[in-house]
Amino acid sequence: MKVLDRYLVRELLVPILFCSATLVFLILVADLFDNLDELLRNKTPIPVVFRYYLCLILMAFSQTISWSVWLGTIFLLVNLGVHNELIAMKAAGLKIITIVRPLIFLALLIGILTFLVSDRIVPPTFRTANELLEIYIEKKKGAEDKKVLKNVTYYSGGNILYYFRKFMPKAKTVEDAIILWMDPTTNQTTQKIFAKEGSFSNGSWTFKGITEYQTDVQGAVFGNPVMITKKSYPDVQVTPRDLIMATSESIYLSYHELKYTIDKLRENGIAVYSEKVDLYDRLASPWKGLVMMLLAIPLLASIHTRKSIAFNVLTCAGLIFAYHVFGAVSMALGKSGAIFPFLSAWGGNILFSTFAFLRFDRANY
């Protein structure tokens, strides 16, 4: 790496780290004041509070790193302009793309790091933080219920509908199960069972306390119900993982888990507009810092008088505001099915980065 490249990377990395630490700290402080009444009223132990905020750090980092990259870029370019360093670089015959190349490379590395953190670490730590918040801080539920999912509905295989009043993922057991078999042509119920409890072991479910009903072609029950103490159903192929995925919000899932959930929902004919937007956004969000950097470069890497620098910073802030508003609107349209999910998640990045590149040439003067 050239001396100039090392210098620029160092001068950008320091403000990014400082801004990131500051923004994360502000988010944690804001959350602390928001939960202060509950912390004091419920006498939450200090180790629990420490663990809760430790779990929130990476979530706050993933939400603020793009702003840290933007603020660091502004600080660097304004500082170079004020000290006439940009003039010296351009006078030496360097084009703006050559000058900012190490900065863009650094933003790419930060984007990759952000994706890995958001995909591999944030889902489990944020889930843990929410459990600690509900159990020990807000005390909305007891610790013994933290692994219980209630009123779980799952439509599987195109002709079987499941409902479980309680599902315990760790024990792989369910309570108060209702399973309906439906005719794929008429969508009428052909068989249904009620079971008091069920357990998953060795790849299959075993139910107890079963009441089994047979139905005619119109779905009406005929004959007497059959009472069965214990029975396994080979065609009941839903797994505990399927149920966990069906009841999890996208923020708690990794990219591959979210994709698995979408594939399962699509197999069952369920619209997945919102989930597909979340999936594409998982790939698009880490590059927001890079796009915000590209928007700042044409405005702040040009040679200006010191009086015009403040105006350019405000103009850049306006562009960043428009970028985020456009992203929010396109995400909403994508989740409603009005536009393609890919365009919903990536449209803002593509549009505004293209706009920035088209204006790069003006930064050579």
Q: What six digits make up the tokens of 32?
A: 């602390």
pLDDT at 143: 45
Model pLDDT, residue 140? 66
Q: Where are the beta strands (DSSP E) in the chain?
A: 149-156, 160-168, 173-182, 189-201, 204-215, 221-232
Helix 46-82 crosses helix 3-34 at what angle (to 10 degrees)? 140
Q: What is the pLDDT along the chain (365 residues), one digit of tens a residue?
A: 588 899 999 999 999 999 999 999 999 999 999 999 999 998 899 999 999 999 999 999 999 999 999 999 999 999 988 888 888 888 888 888 899 999 999 999 999 999 999 999 998 899 889 888 888 888 765 444 456 887 777 765 567 878 888 898 888 899 999 888 877 776 677 788 999 999 998 888 999 999 998 776 565 677 788 899 999 988 888 888 778 766 666 777 788 878 877 776 675 556 678 889 999 999 999 999 999 999 999 988 886 666 788 888 999 999 999 999 999 999 999 988 899 999 999 999 999 999 999 998 888 87
Closest-CA residue to 282 (of 250, 316, 330): 250
First vs last C-alpha separation in the chain: 26
How confident is the model at residue 365, as a pLDDT? 74
CA distance 48 to 26: 20
* Model pLDDT, residue 158: 60
Q: List pLDDT tens digits, range 140-177.
A: 654 444 568 877 777 655 678 788 888 988 888 999 99
- Counting other chains too, the contacts that 26-33 makes at CB distance below 8 Å and 24 or more residues apart are 27/56, 27/60, 27/63, 27/64, 28/53, 28/56, 28/57, 28/60, 31/56
Q: Give the closest residue to 217 by CA, choosing from 184, 185, 188.
A: 188
The answer to whether residues 160 and 180 touch, using CB atoms and an 8 Å cutoff, is yes
User: In the prediction, which pLDDT does 192 show?
Assistant: 85
Q: Which residue has the tokens 């299959």?
A: 204
What local confidence, expressed as pLDDT, does residue 247 receive? 65
Largest Cα–Cα distance in the chain? Answer: 94
DSSP assignment, residue 167? E
CA 59: distance to chain centroid? 10
Q: DSSP for 61-116?
A: HHHHHHHHHHHHHHHHHHHHHHTTHHHHHHHTT--HHHHHHHHHHHHHHHHHHHHH
Tokens of residue 140, six digits = 């909305």
